[in-house]
Chain A
Amino acid sequence: MGPGCVCDPTTADDAFTPADAASQQCVLPCPTVEIEVNNTPTATDDLVQVQSVHPPGRPIVNCRIRAISSCPMAATIVLTNPDGRLRFPGSGDRTCSVTVPNDGSWVPFRISGETGSQAIGDAVIQAHCNTADGELKGQKALTVFWFDQPQINIAAGGQYALSGGRYTVTGANAVNYSAQARIRPAGVDCSAPQVRNLRIGILQTALASVVGRITWGNPAVRWRAGVAAGTTIRVPSQYRRTINLPTSSNDSEATVAPLYDQPGKGATLSANSLKPPVGCAGGGAATSYDTPANPAPATYTLPIRDAAAAEVADVDWQLTSVTVEPSFDTYVVVFNTASNEFSALRRRGWRVNVNSSAAGAQRAAPDAADAAVTANPLTAAPYGNDIVNQAANQVTAPVDAAVTTTFTK
């Protein structure tokens, strides 16, 4: 506030001097104001995305306000949102006080979406003079867009079988994903900057567990040349490789993280793994798939040494069973391809608990239905397979060191 400004003091009884003008609240009639959402006069981008609960996050939209009627001095404008759908922009910021210059220049402020709109333009920013209940000097209607009907569908695919040295599903996938959500309210312009980079995608957490066991047994000996007849050796009767995921982790790879899959990347699985929301052009179900599998070499071999450390034989254990045992939480998310930020909308668990020596069809088992998200999906590296492939998480050892088989040449 400049010297010489004529305004009423906040308390009529107080003596007013020009020196006080810089520090005292002015209650001059405020100018009429104009507000632009997303810093444009365009109505179609008067949008803000609703807050994310999992993970917590608030997409921010930059806005601005200016005086459009003459006023002798800058005025204090308090922004409010009576319908409660907006914040300015933190969760506790229900109002925002801005000083609007009298020269018509813009003043920035920011908003976020607290709750979704039921209709286009039902979230209103009101500009009040000096206080939240002061004279209304302008307002702006906008829309908090959100997503309903989120679905993460997981269909069990083919049966597990030993094939080519792997215990896997051949000619199909263990599970097929289909994820979708609809943008609301109806009529949101999907070409607006706040919407056009949003896609529906899939994110997956691999849960801590033993993810597989490969067991070899029925040892057979191959004696080295020159070993004397009557030589006797003992070997473990069974050998097992146990693969462990000690901590839950994001089931992803660097090129597609934080999602499980993205099209056009180095580790892409499905070209349809990101889709616009239903309600936008091209909207539909994002799809991908997964087939957790274990290498299953038919034979495990080790040399045998005598007490003098000379190699006298090789022993081959034959594959007797392989298990695949991982568990997952899979999410349908809204993903911003520009910022890499996401919001989880719905989750569904699934697991594989298959055994090559078990009877009956061996398939993945998805949960019967999807469910509300109750925890934040994991996103940080290292990713699931990187952890599993660390030497510390793969133990190859006798099943029971005390149980041995004896061979005599």
Chain B
Amino acid sequence: MLPYQVPPPQNAEIVLLHDSRAVHDTAAVSLAAYAGASWVVATVKPGPNSGKATTPGAYVRGDTGQVVTPPERVQAVLIKEGTWQVVAGASIPGSYRWTEPLEQKRVLTPEDRYSPFIHGGTVLFRPAPQIKRLDDLGPVTLLFSDWAQEVAPALAFVQNRPTVFGDKLGPWEERELTPLLSGHNRLLAVCALRSLQAAGRLPPEAERVYLDRSAGQLASIVMYLMLAGPGVTEALAGQALDAARSTRDPARRSPLHLGAYAASIFGDPAAQTRAHAVLEALTAR
């Protein structure tokens, strides 16, 4: 399996940022935001100018080397442009092009950290006839590419049980969620784990066992939730740290490392501190 065929192989830093955002986005995905609506999973292929800065309307006079700028003061912008191919969902291939101001921001968004519209990726979004800006796509979730086929059954499940991942977790919801943890659909498993964790319905020791039994990208996301998800307790973070310390298999450390790294990027300061402890434990061996 080549898990990251899209985006095409790039430098290690870009791949790490891609995977970190995919962990974050999957851990935070709101299936209800897509269920019942028009949605699409698509592989995004950025155009050659995507990610470049420019000044709209400005140009260079090649004969003199002089820069000519529009009479009105125009800011430099970031170009995002490209095409997408549908992987799942009812939509036809499409294209996008918009620009974004190069702004100073108080807080960086996941899109600022890694943009699939600049570097590529597999994204879940709501297609629109006219795409002039990022918000036109609705909530954008960057997925690991081999999770794409799990979206449709997950959304069908949620459409039939609209309150199952809601804020209030009653006995009925708990009965529905628990089997999802051991089901075949990883998206549903992640959403179930997040809801149970937020409601405090899963003992830290049980979540540790779930982490130990998870593999690959799912293990990364479970680690992320244990460090930066809703309802994290010190006991839960302690289980995550203990899992890192007791991992002897080098191949096993990689997904745990990715989950902790994503928590260090996207988590709050407390999550960052917890994540750094896990990263230190994983690299100390």
Residues in A lying within 8 Å of B, measured CB to CB: 163-166, 168, 170-173, 176, 211-212, 231-236, 241, 243, 253, 267, 269-271, 287, 289, 291-295, 297-307, 311-313, 315-316, 385, 388-389, 391-392, 394, 396-398, 401, 404
The residues in B between 27 and 63 inclusive whose CB is less than 8 angstroms from any CB of A are 49, 51-55, 58-63
Q: Which B residues lie within 8 Å of A287 (CB)?
A: 269
CB <8 Å contact, B269 and A165: no
State whether the Cβ of B251 lies closer than 8 Å to any Cβ in chain A: no
CB <8 Å contact, B62 and A305: yes
Question: A-B pairs with the 10 shortest C-beta distances?
Answer: A233-B62, A234-B65, A171-B264, A404-B65, A297-B53, A299-B52, A295-B102, A396-B76, A304-B62, A391-B73
CB <8 Å contact, A307 and B101: no
Question: CA–CA, A342 to B164, complex, Å?
Answer: 45
State whether the Cβ of B114 lies closer than 8 Å to any Cβ in chain A: yes
| A-B CB contact pairs (8 Å), 13 listed | A164-B115, A165-B115, A171-B264, A171-B272, A234-B63, A243-B104, A294-B104, A295-B103, A297-B51, A302-B58, A303-B59, A394-B102, A398-B67
State whether the Cβ of B240 lies closer than 8 Å to any Cβ in chain A: no
State whether the Cβ of B237 lies closer than 8 Å to any Cβ in chain A: no
CB <8 Å contact, B60 and A315: yes
Nearest opposing residue in chain B for A245, CB measure? B104
CB <8 Å contact, B272 and A301: no
Nearest opposing residue in chain A for B63, CB measure? A307
State whether the Cβ of B199 lies closer than 8 Å to any Cβ in chain A: no
Q: Which A residues lie within 8 Å of B73 (CB)?
A: 391-392
CB <8 Å contact, B113 and A164: yes
- Dominant secondary structure of chain A at its interface with chain B: strand
CB <8 Å contact, A299 and B51: yes
Q: Which B residues lie within 8 Å of A168 (CB)?
A: 108
The residues in B between 114 and 160 inclusive whose CB is less than 8 angstroms from any CB of A are 114-115, 118
Nearest opposing residue in chain B for A319, CB measure? B53
CB <8 Å contact, A306 and B104: no
Residues in B lying within 8 Å of A, measured CB to CB: 13-14, 17, 49, 51-55, 58-68, 73-76, 78-79, 101-108, 112-115, 118, 261, 264-265, 268-269, 272, 275-276
Question: CA–CA, A234 to B264, complex, Å?
Answer: 46
Residue among A163, A164, A396 having the largest count of chain B Cβ atoms under 10 Å: A164
Question: CA–CA, A394 to B104, complex, Å?
Answer: 11
Nearest opposing residue in chain B for A324, CB measure? B104
Q: Chain B's nearest CB lies how many Å from the CB of A36? A: 45
Q: Which A residues lie within 8 Å of B58 (CB)?
A: 302
Question: CA–CA, A243 to B75, complex, Å?
Answer: 11
CB <8 Å contact, A297 and B62: no
CB <8 Å contact, B53 and A385: no
Q: Which B residues lie within 8 Å of A303 (CB)?
A: 59-60
Question: CA–CA, A396 to B113, complex, Å?
Answer: 23
Q: Chain A's nearest CB lies how many Å from the CB of B49? A: 6
CB <8 Å contact, A385 and B60: no
CB <8 Å contact, B107 and A300: no
Q: Which B residues lie within 8 Å of A269 (CB)?
A: 106-107
Q: Which A residues lie within 8 Å of B104 (CB)?
A: 211-212, 243, 292-294, 385, 388-389
CB <8 Å contact, B108 and A302: no
Nearest opposing residue in chain B for A384, CB measure? B104
Residue among B49, B64, B102, B261 having the largest count of chain A Cβ atoms under 10 Å: B102
Nearest opposing residue in chain A for B55, CB measure? A396
Q: Chain A's nearest CB lies how many Å from the CB of B210? A: 25
Nearest opposing residue in chain A for B119, CB measure? A164
Q: Which A residues lie within 8 Å of B74 (CB)?
A: 391
CB <8 Å contact, B66 and A401: yes
Q: Which B residues lie within 8 Å of A232 (CB)?
A: 62
CB <8 Å contact, B103 and A236: no
CB <8 Å contact, A253 and B113: no
Q: Of B49, B59, B105, which contacts A311 at CB under 8 A?
A: B59
Nearest opposing residue in chain A for B260, CB measure? A171
